[in-house]
């Protein structure tokens, strides 16, 4: 009888590994190389492009993959367009007529830019993936919602700011985020740089939910524990590299922790691969200094990683979790007497 909860646990965990791992037997090399072979192709003929990308592939997941990789490698993110849109949306947010008028106008600009310069913002990426997928007879939707990254000003996150895709493969819905997969702004110049991140393709919905909040709740693809907007805003900050390294971010569920001196914070993750103790690193920042430390205790069991850290000095810390050189997540800890 004692084994029952354990078996049940295995079952539940097994269920949650339901996304990219559904296609473990498929090698995406062919799809990826087809996508890359059509680099620099234009957007003037989407039916033709969709055909070229998918005609020689045998499964829907490979067809989607070729489309997704092509979009990620060929469409640049337009930072100035993004900023302009953000500004206008904020300005008109309480004037619905002006808001709609602005969006109608802006949409035309976006599609012109996309066609001419192959530059866009999130919705443009999601739109292209959807159009090309549908032309290849794959059901695909644009998901509108809130995306939260390290630079998001969550105090003013009152309008949807991000778009991604839900796609139906073999009768089941999956999630992907072509915008965040395509690249990131260069830290120094803020200019968009192509840098493909494979972690956003058919991501586990539980991990996705840490920093994606869909407006339409059916796109959580979660069976239970659907976050409220408040829990979403109080979740830890996770980075693109979290998507490359983690299958699940289990604990802590909160960004901020109030603890007493000598108190502990516990961390728990499911990794995609294996890790070594010496790869686990915390970087603490108290506003004046930044220093590396090893967690107080670490336990690695196959792909399951847990560690704890004891805070022995009062203060307010930004706690960054690094796996080797990859920045995974940030938490804040206030230690008081």
Partner 1 sequence: MRTQVFTQKQTLKTFGFLVTMLALFAFNPSYGQTRANTETTSTERTVKGVISNEKGPLKDVNVTQQGTRHGTTTNENGEFTFPVKLKTGDVLLISYLGYETQKFEIKEDTTFIKLVLTEDMIEMIGALDSNKPYKSKRKN
Positions annotated as catalytic residues are 122, 162, 177
Which C-beta is closer to partner 1: that of 16 or that of 152?
Answer: 152
Cis peptide before 252 (omega within 30 of 0): yes
Query: Which residues, other chains included, contact 134 with Cβ-Cβ below 8 Å and sequence gap of 6+?
Result: 140
DSSP letters for 188-209: TT--EEE---GGGBS--HHHHH
Enumerate residues 54-83 that contact partner 1 by CB under 8 A: 77, 79, 81-82
Which of 16, 30, 144, 281 contacts partner 1 by CB under 8 A?
A: 144
Q: Does 332 bind partner 1 (CB under 8 A)?
A: yes
Which C-beta is closer to partner 1: that of 23 or that of 69?
Answer: 69
Q: How far is residue 132 CA from its own chain's centroid?
A: 21
For residues 118 and 187, the answer to whether their CB atoms sit within 8 Å is no
Q: Give the x/- contact pattern for partner 1 in 298-317, rule: CB under 8 A.
A: ------------------x-
- ∠ Cα 231 233 238 (to 5°): 105
Enumerate residues 163-182 that contact partner 1 by CB under 8 A: 163, 179-180
Gyration radius (Cα) of the chain, Å: 21
Which C-beta is closer to partner 1: that of 42 or that of 294?
Answer: 42
DSSP 272: S
188 vs 95: CA distance, rounded Å: 36
Q: How far is the CB of 224 from partner 1 (least distance, A)?
A: 27
- Residues at the interface with partner 1 (CB under 8 A): 43-48, 51, 77, 79, 81-82, 85, 89, 103, 106-108, 110-111, 114-115, 120-124, 127, 131, 134-135, 142, 144, 147, 149-152, 159-163, 179-180, 184-185, 187, 192, 237, 239-241, 283, 285, 287, 316, 318, 320, 327, 330, 332
């Amino acid at each position: 009888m004692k084994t029952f909860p354990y078996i049940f646990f295995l079952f539940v965990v097994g269920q949650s590994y339901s996304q990219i791992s559904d296609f473990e037997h498929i090698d995406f090399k062919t799809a990826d190389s087809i996508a890359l072979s059509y680099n620099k192709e234009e957007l003037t003929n989407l039916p033709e492009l969709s055909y070229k990308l998918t005609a020689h592939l045998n499964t829907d997941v490979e067809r989607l993959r070729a489309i997704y990789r092509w979009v990620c490698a060929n469409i640049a993110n337009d930072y100035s367009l993004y900023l302009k849109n953000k500004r206008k949306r904020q300005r008109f947010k309480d004037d619905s007529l002006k808001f709609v008028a602005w969006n109608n106008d802006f949409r035309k600009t976006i599609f012109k830019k996309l066609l001419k310069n192959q530059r866009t913002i999130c919705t443009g990426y999601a739109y292209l993936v959807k159009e090309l997928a549908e032309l290849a007879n794959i059901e695909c939707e644009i998901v509108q919602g809130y995306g939260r990254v390290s630079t998001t000003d969550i105090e003013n996150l009152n309008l949807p700011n991000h778009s991604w895709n839900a796609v139906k493969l073999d009768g089941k819905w999956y999630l992907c985020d072509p915008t965040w997969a395509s690249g990131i702004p260069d830290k120094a110049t803020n200019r968009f740089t192509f840098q493909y991140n494979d972690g956003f393709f058919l991501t586990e919905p539980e991990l996705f939910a840490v920093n994606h909040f869909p407006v339409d709740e059916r796109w959580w693809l979660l069976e239970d524990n659907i976050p409220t907007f408040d829990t979403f805003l109080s979740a830890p900050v996770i980075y693109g590299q979290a998507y490359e390294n983690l299958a699940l971010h289990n604990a802590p569920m909160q960004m901020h922790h109030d603890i007493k001196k000598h108190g502990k914070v516990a961390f728990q993750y499911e990794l995609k691969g294996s890790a070594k103790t010496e790869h686990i690193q915390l970087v603490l920042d108290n506003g004046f200094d930044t220093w590396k430390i090893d967690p107080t205790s670490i336990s690695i069991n196959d792909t399951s990683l847990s560690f704890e850290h004891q805070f022995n000095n009062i203060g307010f810390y930004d706690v960054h979790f690094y796996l080797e050189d990859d920045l995974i997540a940030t938490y804040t800890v206030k230690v008081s007497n």
